[in-house]
Amino acid sequence: MEHPIAVIDFGSQYTQLIVRRIRELGYFSRLYQPSELRETGNPAAVILSGGPRSTLEEGAPDIDFDYLVELGVPVLGVCYGMQLLNRKFGGEVAPGNTREYGPATLLVSEGVDGIFNDLEGHSQIWMSHSDTVSQLPDGCEVMGTNLDGIPVALRWNERFFGIQFHPEVSHTTEGTEILKSFLGRATDLPVFKIASFKDELVEKVQAQVGDRKIVCGVSGGVDSSVLAALLHEAKVDTRNIFVDTGLLRKNEAEEVVSLFEEVGIEIETIDASERFLTALKGETDPEEKRRIIGRLFVEVFFDAVGDDVELLAQGTLYPDVIESATSGSIASTIKTHHNRVDRIMELKAEGRVVEPLDELFKDEVRELGRVLGLPERVVGRHPFPGPGLAVRCPGEITEEKLRIIQDADDIYIGLLREKHWYDSVWQAYAALIPTKTVGVKGDERSYEYALSIRAVTSEDAMTAEWVHLPYELLGEISNRILNEVPGVNRVLYDISTKPPASIEWE
């Protein structure tokens, strides 16, 4: 897409969110490294992100300021970006006495034509910095200060602005309005709508694939299902392969087959569940379990497709590209054992891996799925880990443990749907605790497993908060599991946040 809003990444943990917020406003934005500034083409605007470094450090990230000026477009510096711009314009930055992290108040300066024109006199913002602006260059105006009178928003001229806080995080209550106001100074903004972007993706796939055959691994998850639907929409010669690892949720294999029959997409199913359970027998180390699953998945997949692969489709999303990782793809099950993906890496090096979703965030992939006609039960589905239930079964994986997790999870998710909580939760699941506890069932003492249920809200899994499910619902979930799932006599609700906990157990 032409004229993207270029976000220059200086390493902030929130940088992806800037791109997301801009797209939520209806404009197309992409992330670039500082060295890629000249590769942004003809951007409509440029935003310099925050970062963990100090502009005073030797070798600190820099920007081609002359080219930035030459572009002639609005520029916004955020945190590190603001300090960098202040130095470029001739001002100075000094180490702060303390690191300022957390909520603060923005006091908007009167009479300054900046990017706060639609704000009231004050607003809650979110800080994360250690250095501070110590001297302003000639001509620089203060758009806003904190409660101590320290400048936290600057205007160097009619095109260059800086803010010492993060507008992209939800803790900055009017952050979206600030970004919108800044973008209002740009011209030729790239409108971004999934419905029209779909046609661009179809044309991209057709150009990449041509008359060659492409192989696509499907799992029934959001990413791979949307990928298969996009290839189907593009009418390219596709072979879709579904590997049943035996580590799926209850009746999931049958549901995947039924789904693709419903939407008219042909898939091949490979039942490798016995091979996976045999390979995992006796293993308790979580990383080794991942390695075993990854190695075997690749073996099973390529045993089916053979060595003569013209093209391989992967459901890599934009956050995966940014983090140099993969999601919803064959490689996502491998994670820590890249030595087992030599074949995939070879295909990628040869330009034979097609990743048409690599410009999209998760919520955009869901919307694309809706546009492509996939049912809501697919596009609204919670994330599911590549290694499957293995990450929800600490310790050795056995058929009994998998049966307990599957039955409990089926009850849990079913009740979330029934009580209209499923769509309010980003991810929910049941996990087995590898400890047996004493209980009472009927007139006898029992010695059975404890089970954990978890529900979180998140944005692309970077952080997560536990969901405050009603006590009545938690009680019903617990009673149903205890009464209907043999082998469990205790149900716990996981109220850990990420960080410090992870979303999944392993």
Q: Which two tokens stand for residue 147?
A: 């409660």
- Asked if 168 is an active-site residue, the reply is yes
- As given in the structure block, the two tokens for residue 24 are 């939520």
Question: Side chain identity at 123, as an amino acid letter?
Answer: S
Length of the chain counted residue by residue? 506
Structure tokens at 210: 């041509």
Please give the Cα distance from 238 to 242 (Å, whole number).
13
Q: Which of 168, 233, 252, 364 is catalytic?
A: 168
φ, ψ for residue 126, nearest 5 deg: -125, 120
Question: Do 78 and 18 contact (CB within 8 A), yes or no?
Answer: yes
Structure-token pair, residue 96: 């702060």
Helices (H) and strands (E) in the chain, counts: 15, 18
Q: Name the 3-class secondary structure at 132.
A: strand
What distance in Å separates the CA atoms of residue 267 and residue 215, rounded to the nearest whole number? 11
CA dihedral 41, 47, 51, 55 (to 10 degrees): 90
Give the side-chain half-sphere CA count within 13 A for 117: 11
- Three-state secondary structure of 464-478: EEECCCCHHHHHHHH
**For 217, what's the count of Cα atoms within 13 Å in the CB-facing half-sphere?**
29
Task: Specify whether 393 is catalytic.
Answer: no
Of 79, 140, 216, 393, catalytic: 79
Q: Which of 3, 129, 166, 232 is catalytic?
A: 166
Using alpha carbons, list the distances in angstroms from residue 354 to 55, 243, 247, 268.
39, 20, 27, 20
Of 428, 425, 415, 421, which Cα lies nearest the Cα of 480?
415
How do beta strands 92-108 and 122-135 pair? antiparallel
Where do runs of H (alpha helix) occur along 306-394? 318-322, 342-349, 362-371, 376-379
Is there a catalytic annotation at residue 468?
Answer: no
Which residues are known catalytic residues? 79, 166, 168
